[in-house]
Amino acid sequence: MLLTANITANVTAQPTYSFEGEIIGQVSYACDPEVHEHKVLYSSENGRSIIEASFSATLKPLKFTRIKLYYTVKGLLNEVNGTWYFRYRINTESASPPEIVLKIPKPSMFHKLIIDSAVPSPQVFIEESHYYDLIWKSPLFIFGNTSTTYIDVSYRIVWDWESFIYWFLLTVGSGFIGFIIGLIPKRIKRFVLTIKKKISLKMTTNR
C-alpha cells in the first residue's frame, strides 16, 4: 500500500482488500516510520479472503509512505493438462494502490517457461536468480470507488530441446577437443624419442 500527498499532512486510512483464495497462516506487515497507530485484520471464508488495514500516517510531498503486507494464499493456481492458470481478482475502496508481484519459479535445466497469456500486461518483468517476477502496479487500478480488477495469467513448463542439443554438442565437442589435446604431448614425446634414437644410431654407425 502506497500513500503520498501534495502537502505535508496527517491522514487516517482504512483500505480494504478482498480477493479469491484462502490465507494460510498469519498476515504480517512492515511500516515506514511515517506510519503510526496501525492495525491489520484479516479473514478467509468460502474461498475468499479480506484484509482490512487501519492506520494513521504523516505524508510528505513527493515521497511515498508504504505499508507492506506479507501473506500466503492457497487456491490461486490451477493446473489443467500441464498449463497453470492464475487468476487474481481484487476489490478496493482505498486511495492507496496495491502492487502485485507474481513470482514464477524458474524451470529446471533443459526446461523453459512459456507465458501463454498475461492480461493485463505487467508493467515490469524482472528476472531473479530463482524466479521470474511479473509486477502490476499503479495506474493499473482505479481507486476512490469500489472497483474490481482481474489479473489472468496462464503459463507452462516445456522441454527446451534446443538447449539440450546445444549442451550435447558442446559436451561432445569439448570431450573430443580434450582428447585431441591430450594426444599432442604424447605425439611430441614420441617424436622427440624417435629423433634421439636416430641421432644415437647415426653416431654409433659413424664410429
Chain segment 69-92, per-residue pLDDT in tens: 888 888 788 888 888 888 877 665
> CA 152 to CA 27: how far, in whole Å?
24
pLDDT, position 201: 60
Chain segment 161-178, per-residue pLDDT in tens: 887 787 777 777 776 676
pLDDT, position 168: 73
More confident residue, 117 or 195: 117
Q: Could you tell me the pTM of the whole model? A: 0.54
Residues, the chain: 207
pLDDT, position 47: 83
Q: Which of 78, 74, 75, 99 is nearest to 17 (CA)?
A: 99
